[in-house]
Structure 1
Amino acid sequence: MLKRLLLVLSMLAFAAPAGAVTIGDDGLHKQDWFSITFRDIAEDIEAANEEDKRLVLVFEQRGCIYCRKMHEELLTDPEVRDYIKANFKVVQYNMFGDEEVTDLDGEALTEKTAARKWGYVFTPTIVFLPEQAPEGGSVAQAAVVTMPGAFGKSTFLHMFQWVREKGYETGEHFQKYHARKLEEGRAAGENATD
């Protein structure tokens, strides 16, 4: 009896590893720290600003292997997760979803028509918005940078850091910033390679 109990407990431990990510009814991977909003972009930018954070939209789709990688390998990494949670308000979008979205120009769309309007075709696509909502225009026009796809930990984290530090305003291209951060990490004895 004790052997069976131990076997069941060990199976449960392997079935749901620590930091396991859940999948919602929409088929998207979920993080309990992502924000649930009414998807009014101007209001979301303002709400993020009130929290001294930046708004980030993450477009995903059901069955996306790169989205799974992002959730299971990057967003569960304590260094990455804690940095993003402290500095960004993240709202998840379903590239083929039907929830209503209000663009910065006031147009009401569904998630899928917003993705088409803004030109997002890859998942995940991570969209970084400015600190202040601009008058009119679209999310695609207002975005300070858009990151299509999932990358390695260093590239992923450095993009969030570059946006938080407003690298897009300093003239230091992200690739130069990333190379500098990797070199600084190597000099400090870190094993950063991507």
Structure 2
Amino acid sequence: MKKTRFSILCGFICVFTLLGCSDDNEVKISQGNNAAAIEHAESLDKQSYAGLEDIFLDTKNISTQEDKTTLLIFGKNNCIYCDKIKDDIKANSEIKSHLKSHFIPYYINVSYTKIHNLNFIDSKKELSTTALMESYVKSPMRPTPTLIFLNPKGESIFELPGYMNADSILKILQYMQSKQWQDKDQTQVASEINKIL
């Protein structure tokens, strides 16, 4: 009787072990064979800026150019002010025009993690979303939204933590476009921006 119970118990353990180990999907994803699943996971953040796909670029590859300033906007899910800044951009054709013409804009949703390939004038590197935010957002507690303007070398020109209305954002974009920030440190740039606001 004890041998029969033991045999049945061993049989159940073997069946559950075999069934539990047959998840082909997970093996394929971890081996990189399921490209569709990987692509889906990497594009989740694109839903964050729905309606602004013509403005914001895919954050998988973040780059700079000599003639344009790169703008990183860090946001997250369920952030009222992140949604408000996106709504302000959607509603203001002048802001959209400035972003398209004079900037390389990215909206980075920190609620999702992916690897970002950074291609700057003098360097190339890969950073996770968390590492990217830690590298550029220096404000205490790393608030969202936070706007970071980068020079062609990928160095921070100015950090704007928190929400600003559309008129203030437009003034900052015009200042950045004018290149008045060149050859100045972040303190000088912040002082000049405070004067125009």
For 1:127, the aligned partner's letter is I
Distance (whole Å) between structure 1 residues aligned to residue 44 and residue 125 of structure 2: 27
TM-score normalised over the length of structure 2: 0.61
TM-score normalised over the length of structure 1: 0.62
Distance (whole Å) between structure 2 residues aligned to residue 81 and residue 74 of structure 1: 6
Distance (whole Å) between structure 1 residues aligned to residue 163 and residue 132 of structure 2: 21
Identify the residue that residue 53 of structure 1 maps to in structure 2. 68
Q: Is 2:39 the counterpart of 1:35?
A: no
Figure out how many residues of one structure are paired with residues of the other and give that number: 140
SS at match of 1:128: strand
Q: How far apart are 1:102 and its partner, in Å?
A: 4.0
Q: CA RMSD in A?
A: 2.5
SS at match of 1:167: coil
Q: Which of the two has higher C-alpha Rg? A: 2
Q: How far apart are 1:65 and its partner, in Å?
A: 0.5
Q: How far apart are 1:70 and its partner, in Å?
A: 0.7
CA deviation map 1:98-143 (0-9, x unaligned) = 211245665532102221243451111111111x22xxxxx5xx11
Distance (whole Å) between structure 2 residues aligned to residue 108 and residue 114 of structure 1: 9
Distance (whole Å) between structure 2 residues aligned to residue 88 and residue 119 of structure 1: 19
Q: Is 2:171 the counterpart of 1:158?
A: yes
**Percent identical:** 21
Query: CA contact under 8 A between 1:97 and 1:110: conserved in structure 2?
Result: no
For 2:162, the aligned partner's letter is G
Identify the residue that residue 126 of structure 2 maps to in structure 1. 108
Q: How does 1:15-94 map to 2 (within 5 A)?
A: 25-26=44-45, 28-30=48-50, 31-33=52-54, 34-39=56-61, 41=62, 44-46=63-65, 49=66, 52-94=67-109
Distance (whole Å) between structure 1 residues aligned to residue 68 and residue 125 of structure 2: 25
